[in-house]
Structure 1
């Protein structure tokens, strides 16, 4: 991975938190900034084609409670 040096202005409080985390976890501060840039790059990515996401039809609306229960069951089953 080729790296390019850049300068950014950051909030003092955010920088202090990054410095604390880096010291606590023994990681270079630069890793946090590279990770943040990568997350922003992924979040802002756009695709030209439509995604082929299947549509599920349960024959009726699904309630928020049913979704919460299904997610909870899935998380509990993964443990």
Structure 2
């Protein structure tokens, strides 16, 4: 990966929080900033072609409560299941 140096102005409080996180987690500030740039670049990206996203049809409307309950069940199941070896 080719790296390009740049200068940015950031909020003082944000920079202080970044410095604390870097020190706490043993990562460089630059690593955090590269990650942030990457996330913003991906979020702002636009594709010229349509996405081929499959449509899931359950034959009836699915409520938000059903989705919430399913997610809750899966999370609960993962926390109670023994770890794989």
Both proteins in one fold, TM over 0.5: yes
Instruction: Extract structure 1 runs of 4+ deviating beyond 4 A.
Output: none
Aligned counterpart, 1:46: 46
Q: Which moved more, 1:6-15 or 1:53-62?
A: 53-62
The two structures have a TM-score, normalised by structure 2, of 0.82
Q: Name 2:83's counterpart in structure 1.
A: none
Specify every segment of 5 or more residues in structure 2 that has no aligned partner in the other structure, as ranges. Answer: 80-85
What's the Cα RMSD here?
A: 1.3
Structure 1, gaps ≥5 residues long: none
TM-score by length of 1: 0.88
**1:61 equivalent in structure 2:** 61
Q: What's the CA shift for 1:59?
A: 2.5
Question: Which runs of structure 2 are paired with 1:5-20 in the superposition (5 Å)?
Answer: 5-20=5-20
